[in-house]
Amino acid sequence: MSKPVNIVADIGGTNLRIAMNDESGNIQNLKTYECAQYASLRSVIDDYFELFSIDTEKQNVNACLAIACPVEQDLIDMTNLPWSFSKAKLKADLGLKSLHMINDYTAIAWSINSLDEWQKYKIGGGEVINHKPIAICGPGTGLGVANVIWGNDQWISVGGEGGHSDFAAINDVEIAILNYLKEKYSRVSYEQLLSGLGIEQIYQALCHYRDVDTNNYSAAEISSRAIDKTCDICLETMEQFCKTLGSFAGNLALTTASFGGVYIAGGIVPRFLEFFEESGFRRRFEAKGRFTHFNARIPTFVITESQPGLIGASAYLIQQNINEDVCR
């Protein structure tokens, strides 16, 4: 049988990126799919296999799929996409030798220590302390969260669903936003503000609070008008988004004492990096009362690498293959 084929994928609520890696973990044959154009995950993978002539009857194919939802059970129900499937059935139907499903932010966590300086951008002060915990969060279709800790002479990725923790308002404007969202939801999580939908909902809440007409702007239109300074409410919306993200990231830093750094991932923030750097993000990150000095020592970064999920999934798959070889 020919040399094994390693498949890696980063599956979000909007886009799916799938590729192959070589023995060194280098990403090859990358293709991006729009999830809404496909009825199932299998249909996407079938298309990719056909495109690159991958035949699981003649090749040993291993896969690591990073996906934006919990992965502990066999049945996978995506949080922001109407796809549902059994991991065991997917592996059997595709004829895979091995299938590893990990949370998309677990994959990003696996990528952190592989990133070079040009693949990340530092915001504010603080310095990385080696082998101290690292926290990752990222607004996109949803709000992903993960952590990385050092133990037993290796990095260990710890996933979670921290984006669904309760939103904590800290001033009158945020109380007004919270009250507006409570009319729509029985419970308001940080994801309801820190996501593409979240930007739109902050805008709508601020229009209501300021008693001005609401336009049917998308998140992209709101951010564009904010950067161009052609809409005061859009500008306030994006500033509020950055401050809320600062508070949330600062909470992560406090929770895990993340002196290895806090990293902002996701598809939103890298699109307006200069605005983000000049925003209130870092001030709110540090504004923790008696523990302001604590967070001021913790560095924050924006991941500018476009494919951290694939890099992390590749690193994870290589490690699993090594472990399997050792156990033989």
Helix residue ranges per DSSP H, the chain: 41-51, 87-94, 104-111, 172-182, 196-210, 219-228, 232-256, 273-278, 281-286, 292-296, 308-327
Determine if residue 153 is labeled as part of a ligand binding site. Answer: no
Query: What are the structure tokens assigned to 2, written together?
Result: 């020919």
Q: What is the DSSP string of 63-97?
A: EEEEESS--SSSEEE-SSS--EEEHHHHHHHHT-S
Query: Rounded to the nearest 5 degrees, what angle is found at the Cα of 60, between the Cα atoms of 55 and 61?
Result: 75
Determine if residue 55 is labeled as part of a ligand binding site. Answer: no
Query: What are the structure tokens assigned to 133, written together?
Result: 């915990």
Determine if residue 12 is labeled as part of a ligand binding site. Answer: yes
Query: What are the structure tokens assigned to 202, written together?
Result: 């902050």
Residue 30, beta-bridge partner list: none
Query: What are the structure tokens assigned to 21, written together?
Result: 């890696």
In 3D, which of 226, 239, 236 has the Cα closest to residue 280?
239
Q: Report whether 328 contacts 147 (CB < 8 A).
A: no
Determine if residue 14 is labeled as part of a ligand binding site. Answer: yes
Q: How many CA atoms lie within 13 A of 326 on its CB side?
A: 6
Determine if residue 255 is labeled as part of a ligand binding site. Answer: no
Query: What are the structure tokens assigned to 10, written together?
Result: 């980063």
Determine if residue 11 is labeled as part of a ligand binding site. Answer: yes
- Cα separation, 61 vs 83, whole angstroms: 23
Give, in order, the Cα–Cα distances in Å from 76 to each of 85, 137, 143: 5, 22, 18
Strands 75-77 and 84-86: antiparallel
Which residues, other chains included, contact 154 with Cβ-Cβ below 8 Å and sequence gap of 6+? none
Q: Which residues are annotated as a binding site for ATP?
A: 9-14
Binding residues: 9-14
